[in-house]
Amino acid sequence: GAGVSQSPSNKVTEKGKDVELRCDPISGHTALYWYRQRLGQGLEFLIYFQGNSAPDKSGLPSDRFSAERTGESVSTLTIQRTQQEDSAVYLCASSPPWTDYGYTFGSGTRLTVV
Amino acid sequence: DQQVKQNSPSLSVQEGRISILNCDYTNSMFDYFLWYKKYPAEGPTFLISISSIKDKNEDGRFTVFLNKSAKHLSLHIVPSQPGDSAVYFCAASYKEYGNKLVFGAGTILRVKS
């Protein structure tokens, strides 16, 4: 597609339930990133995939968070046993191999845990 | 620990005037800095960047200034236009940190016509 696509755009879930967020990067972009933005805060790095290398998971806040990426395509971010503090906008971005920081962000998934 | 700080949550400027958005950082290892712009319900879009070997980078109406000794950078928009109204994020990184960026909390810019 023309841009980074994220689904769903909005998700309301009950505390304790699991959620899956999906990201379709731009075709040919080898790097894929997940960030989140909680209310009033900056974007917080979660995880980074680069080609076939092991992902950089250093930003995942707890073991309830995990992410997978199939080759150089779709990624899913899974949050198990959601808590109210997980409420945030989850942003996915991708970038081509020749650009270090030229991220293209998706529109995000707004997650609300009630 | 906030390594990148944008201390002004919001800024209001008259159309045609200069907008100056500020950003401070604490990590002296940062060697690359970027500004992103975000409209409501959209993802951030890259605006302009600067490497630590420079103190100024200009792209049309947008100029970024870097003061390494003060660990401060600023984004100047001249002249400001109503379409510039958005949230502006400052971000930073360094080579050993990989391709990850550390973002500030953002500044809401309102340009009044």
Read off the pLDDT of residues B39-71 as tens digits, 9 standing for 90 and up.
988 999 999 999 999 999 999 999 999 999 999
Please answer yes or no on whether B100 and A42 come within 8 Å at the CB atom.
no
Place of tokens 């009044």: B112
For chain A, the average pLDDT equals 92
Q: Does A55 touch chain B (CB under 8 A)?
A: no
Size of interface A-B (CB pairs under 8 A): 62
Residues of B in contact with A104 (CB under 8 A): 43, 45-46
- The per-residue pLDDT for A101 is 64
Q: What is the mean pLDDT of residues A23-45?
A: 92
Q: How far apart are CA A110 and CA A8, in angstroms?
A: 8
Phi, psi of A76 (to 5 degrees): -125, 135
B10 to chain A: closest CA residue: A40
B2 to chain A: closest CA residue: A42
Please answer yes or no on whether A42 and B103 come within 8 Å at the CB atom.
yes
Q: List the single residue in A35, A101, A104 with the smallest CB-CB distance to B93.
A: A101
pLDDT at A1 over 60: no
Q: What is the mean pLDDT of residues A89-104?
A: 82
User: What pLDDT band is residue A53 in, cutting at 50, 70 and 90?
Assistant: confident
- The per-residue pLDDT for A72 is 79
B105, A42 contact by CB (below 8 A): yes
Of residues A72 and A105, more confidence is placed in A105
pLDDT at B14 over 90: yes
The two beta strands, B86-93 and B107-112, are: antiparallel
